[in-house]
Amino acid sequence: MESSRAISIIRLLALLGLAVSMTLWMDHLRPNPRLCGFEWDCEEVLTSRFGSLLGVPLPVVGVGAFAILLGVSLFPAGRSGRLLRPLVLAAGAAGIGLVLLQVVVLHRVCRFCLIADIAAIAIGVVGLVWGRGVQRVADVRFRPLWMAGAAAALGIGAIFGTAGSRAGGEERPIPPQVTALWVPGKVNVVEVTDFACPHCRRMHPVMKQLVEAEGDRIHFVRLTAPMPAHAQARPASRAFLCACEQGKQSEMAEALFTASDLSPEQCERTAAGLGLSLPEYRTCVADPATDAQLDAVLAWVKEASPNGLPVVWVQDRTFIGPQSLEELRWAVRLAESRMKDRGR
C-alpha cells in the first residue's frame, strides 16, 4: 500500500472516530440519552467501571485521541512524525481491548462505541500493513481540507448527539394499547418500564412521588416490557405480572426497582417475602401466557418508543426517558385544564 494512500485512510478513519466520539459525548451529557434503544446497551457500557479513564469519560478520551492522531498525521515533520506509527498501533490495540471488554467482560455492547472501536482497529491494521512508511510521508497540500473535515466531524457529532432534545413531553399519536387503559373522568398516567433498566430505576422515585402527590386525581397504570439487552429483565417482568395477579403489584415493583439481583431465584424469594402464594406464583411464572403478555407489550412499545424506556403517557402527552416531578405534575395540570374546557 502506498504511504500517501494509507495516511489518507488513517485520516478518514480518524474523522469517523472523531464524529462518533463527539456524538457519544453529547448524548452522554443529556439527562435522557437516546441513541441506543431496545437492542443495545450504550448507557450501561458508558456508566460501567470501564466507562472512564482516570475519571475522564471514554467519549471524551475518544475525541482527544482521534483528534491527536489526526493532528499528528497532518504535521508529519520532526518528532511528531515519528510518533504517528506508535500512535496508530496504540489506537488499534485500544480498539481491540475495548471491544473485548464489552463482549467478554461486560456482556454489553454499545453500537456507537463499536463504530469508534472498529475505526481504531482499522487504523492499527493500516499501520501494520503500512510499516514505517509513515515517517516518509510529508504531503501536506490538503492540510486545510483535512482540518475543515475535523471541524465538520465535530460539528456533525455534536448536532447528532443533541438532536431531538426536549424539555418536556410532546403530543403525538397515542397507541391504542394505552387509550384502552384509560378511565373516563380522570387524568390517565400510563408508564411502561423495565426493572433492569437504569433509566427506569432513576424514574421510579419520581413516579412514586407523582402517584402519592396526585392520589385519586389520576388513574395510574404500570406496564412492563423486558428489553432484550437486559439479561434479568424478563424474570423481573414475570415476577411483576405474577404479583399483579395476587394484588401485590406496587410492593413487587418497589422491591424489583431496588434489588441488585433480579434472577429468577431471587425474584421468587422476593415473592415469598411479600407473602405471595408460591404455588400460584410458580404456576404463573411458568405459564406461556405470561411471556406472551410480555412479548405483546414489547412489540407495540418498540414502535411507540424505539429509543428505549421508560416511556410515560400523561393523558395525551408522551414523555420518553427520566423526567422531573415538576414536568409530570405540569402535564397533569394541563390535562385537567383541557378536560374542564371540554366539559363546558
**Domain identity same for 54 and 83:** yes
Q: What angle do CA 292, 249, 169 make, to 5 degrees?
A: 80
The C-alpha torsion from 71 through 75 and 77 to 83, rounded to 10°, is 10
pLDDT in the model for residue 165: 46
Domain range holding 219?
A: 170-343
pLDDT in the model for residue 193: 97
The domain that contains 216 carries what CATH number?
3.40.30.10
Side-chain-facing half-sphere of 140: CA atoms under 13 Å: 13
Q: Choose among 3, 20, 58, 330: nearest CA to 167.
A: 330
Mean pLDDT by 10-residue block, N- to C-terminus, for the chain (344 residues)? 77 96 88 63 80 92 96 77 87 96 89 95 90 54 90 94 62 91 96 93 95 95 93 96 97 97 98 98 98 97 88 94 91 92 67
**Domain identity same for 83 and 198:** no
**Domain identity same for 84 and 191:** no
Q: What is the Cα–Cα distance from 110 to 218, expressed in whole angstroms? A: 37
Q: Choose among 118, 162, 188, 232: nearest CA to 332.
A: 188
**Domain identity same for 26 and 175:** no
162, 182, 206 — which closes off a domain? Answer: 162
**Domain identity same for 203 and 328:** yes
**Domain identity same for 18 and 152:** yes
**Domain identity same for 43 and 179:** no
Query: Domain tally for the chain?
Result: 2
**Domain identity same for 190 and 269:** yes
**Domain identity same for 146 and 183:** no
Q: Choose among 203, 64, 151: nearest CA to 222.
A: 203
**Domain identity same for 152 and 181:** no
Partnered with residue 193 across adjacent β-strands are: 224
**Domain identity same for 229 and 143:** no
Whether the CB-CB separation of 295 and 275 falls below 8 Å is answered with no
What residues have CB less than 8 Å from 155, skipping those under 6 apart?
A: none
Q: Does the reported pTM lie above 0.75?
A: no
Percent helix, strand, coil in the chain, to 5, is 65, 10, 25
| Residue 181: DSSP 8-state | T
pLDDT in the model for residue 333: 95
pLDDT in the model for residue 133: 54
The domain that contains 48 carries what CATH number?
1.20.1440.130
Q: How does DSSP assign 275-292, residue by residue?
A: T--HHHHHHHHH-HHHHH
130, 162, 194 — which closes off a domain? Answer: 162
pLDDT in the model for residue 1: 46
**Domain identity same for 21 and 120:** yes
140, 162, 184 — which closes off a domain? Answer: 162
Q: Angle at which helices 58-74 and 143-162 pack, to 10 degrees?
A: 170
